[in-house]
């Protein structure tokens, strides 16, 4: 393999075919950081409207740092993976301005190696390879490796990196993985680096799919309906912490515990299913009258609670 030829082929393709995305070509570190955080576990078409919405409410890192967490989560509502918003808010409270190097970025709360490398290379031109799931897939197929280790992928990405255009290169690798070298039915004939790919004959073998285990959990949600709204309480924990929702319990005796806690007799409404990354919830939804209530639209709610309320308040 001649690295210069491969780099030229991929960069030429990227500059001719890159999607027109609102954060592309933007040298503002905060906006690039926001786009990278949003794109973690969120598709581009879903991320774009939230990108604009977030910037309308928090146009600068300093403005984000001044905001309270609940207002940040309200704007983030619907994107999911709320730890991203909590970490972004915490980062904004730590510094009003992003540092310029990979090493310094990596020290900030919620910034991992990929995000630090993406911002450092795209905004500040630092020669550091950014490795996300798309890049891992491209490298695995180039090398015909079914299960490359993170260090093997990073090492290869470092070797391939175009030192004179690290930002464009990292975006080109990610763009290739997102649009051509996709997980299923990759468009190998359209790939600009097809000639160098060792796995193109059987691309579905590289990399091997990761088994994802989901634990099934039974839960009960109690919708307490009052005049003009429902009773809500703050969520806690790493997944939904900072959001609000209806009272919920897991495990045996959940309904009895909820009824005793609020002194009510609840009636059954139905059930919903909701999947998190490692947990699949089956939630039985009950309803009971309540005196105090508030309007759900005024609080940040998870998709789970929105589904519960849609069943209870059609």
Length of the chain: 314
Is 36 annotated as catalytic?
yes
Could you identify the residue written with the tokens 């209806």?
Answer: 246
201 class by beta-carbon count within 10 Å (0-12 exposed, 13-18 middle, 19+ buried) = exposed
Q: Evaluate whether 95 touches 60 at the Cβ level (below 8 Å).
A: no
CA distance 277 to 258: 26
Q: Evaluate whether 64 touches 109 at the Cβ level (below 8 Å).
A: no
DSSP-assigned beta bridge partners for residue 286:
222, 268
Tokens of 98: 């992003």
Catalytic residue among 36, 97, 152, 298: 36
Residue 285, φ and ψ in degrees, nearest 5: -105, 130
Going 275 to 276 to 282 to 287, the CA torsion angle's sign is negative
Tokens of 83: 């730890």
CA distance 174 to 160: 13
Q: Evaluate whether 109 touches 90 at the Cβ level (below 8 Å).
A: yes
* Catalytic residue numbers, as ranges: 36
């Amino acid at each position: 393999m001649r690295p210069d030829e491969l780099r030229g082929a991929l960069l030429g393709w990227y500059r001719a075919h890159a999607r027109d995305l609102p954060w592309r070509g933007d040298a503002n570190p905060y906006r690039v950081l926001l786009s990278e955080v949003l794109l973690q576990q969120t598709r581009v078409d879903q991320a774009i409207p939230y990108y604009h919405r977030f910037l309308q409410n928090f146009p600068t890192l300093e403005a984000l740092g001044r905001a309270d967490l609940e207002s940040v989560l309200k704007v983030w509502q619907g994107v999911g993976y709320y730890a991203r918003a909590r970490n972004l808010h915490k980062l904004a409270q730590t510094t009003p301005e992003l540092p310029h190097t990979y090493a310094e970025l990596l020290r900030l709360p919620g910034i991992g190696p990929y995000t630090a490398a993406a911002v450092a290379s795209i905004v500040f031109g630092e020669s550091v390879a950014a490795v996300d799931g798309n890049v891992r897939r491209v490298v695995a197929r180039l090398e015909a490796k079914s299960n490359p280790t993170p260090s093997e992928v990073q090492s290869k990405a470092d070797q391939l990196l175009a030192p004179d255009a690290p930002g464009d290169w990292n975006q080109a690798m990610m763009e290739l993985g997102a649009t051509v070298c996709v997980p299923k039915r990759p468009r190998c004939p359209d790939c600009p680096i097809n000639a160098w790919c060792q796995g193109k004959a059987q691309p579905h073998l590289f990399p091997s799919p990761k088994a994802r285990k989901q634990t099934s959990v039974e839960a009960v949600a109690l919708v307490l309906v009052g005049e003009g709204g429902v009773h809500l309480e703050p969520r806690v924990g790493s997944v939904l912490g900072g959001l609000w929702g209806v009272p919920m319990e897991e495990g045996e005796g959940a309904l009895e515990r909820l009824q005793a806690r609020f002194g009510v007799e609840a009636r059954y409404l139905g059930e919903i299913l909701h999947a998190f990354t490692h947990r699949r919830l089956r939630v039985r939804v009950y309803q009971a009258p309540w005196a105090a209530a508030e309007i759900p639209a005024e609080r940040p709610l998870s998709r789970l609670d929105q589904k519960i309320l849609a069943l209870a308040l059609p």
